[in-house]
Chain A
Amino acid sequence: SQTIHQWPATLVQPVGSPLSLECTVEGTSNPNLYWYRQAAGRGLQLLFYSVGIGQISSEVPQNLSASRPQDRQFILSSKKLLLSDSGFYLCAWTSIGGRGNTIYFGEGSWLTVV
């Protein structure tokens, strides 16, 4: 069966420090991969998505970036964090199918920028 893991689960980072969140999917190949962010009590904001290795599309201009170095690995990064980057970050994946995509989320990473 397919599984998705992301880490770390929780982190507290000072303003201006770098960030790296990692996500891996197992049990499938060539998935679509996504990074979402949730501010407290808010909806799901799509940050990045990828349809293949090295292929990244950004939905929102910001100081974050994403990379996909391997088929089932997706990384969210920042060189310098802002206070507004605090939130709950969710990695997700879907299989590329012809009848609509079921999206599955990782456990999430709580980021607090102080």
Chain B
Amino acid sequence: GENVEQHPSTLSVQEGDSAVIKCTYSDSASNYFPWYKQELGKRPQLIIDIRSNVGEKKDQRIAVTLNKTAKHFSLHITETQPEDSAVYFCAASRGGSYIPTFGRGTSLIVHP
């Protein structure tokens, strides 16, 4: 089955800095890679996703890049703000009834 590794487990940055979280996956048939943000005590919510036919996607301060050859994808947050502090999860999945596989999460702390 699919295996997703996520690094780092904790990331501490100063407000205004950039943050990068990286994930690798094992199943070359995976074709969909979402990222979720989970604030303390709340549910994970989708913030951005990318499909395997695209190399990069941006949404304001958030971007995701995908390298299919190397089987890794990354979340980039620019100009970080204290409200970006949360746990971020990556995931990889295939179509049909395959279950999405999540990384173990990265706790991002943005210091004012």
Contacts and interface: CB of A to CB of B under 8 A. Distances in A.
A108 B51 contact: no
Interface residues of A, number: 26
Interface in B75-98: 89, 91, 93-98
A41 B106 CA distance: 10
Interface stretch (A13-21, A67-75, A77-85, A92-100): A92-100
Given A51-B97, A98-B95, A98-B96, A105 B34 contact: no
Contact of A90 (B43, B97, B98): B43
Most chain A CB within 10 A, of B30, B31, B99, is at B99
Contacts of A62: none
B43 A107 contact: yes
Contacts of B102: 43-44
B100 A103 contact: yes
A105 B100 contact: no
Interface residues of chain B: helix, strand, loop or mixed (majority) = loop
A104 B30 CA distance: 18
Given A43-B89, A43-B105, A44-B89, A101 B100 contact: yes
B96 to A, nearest CB: 6
A42 B103 CA distance: 11
Given A44-B89, A96-B97, A102 B31 contact: no
A46 B42 CA distance: 17
B17 to A, nearest CB: 23
Nearest to A98: B95
A88 B30 CA distance: 28
B66 to A, nearest CB: 12
Contacts of B41: 88, 110
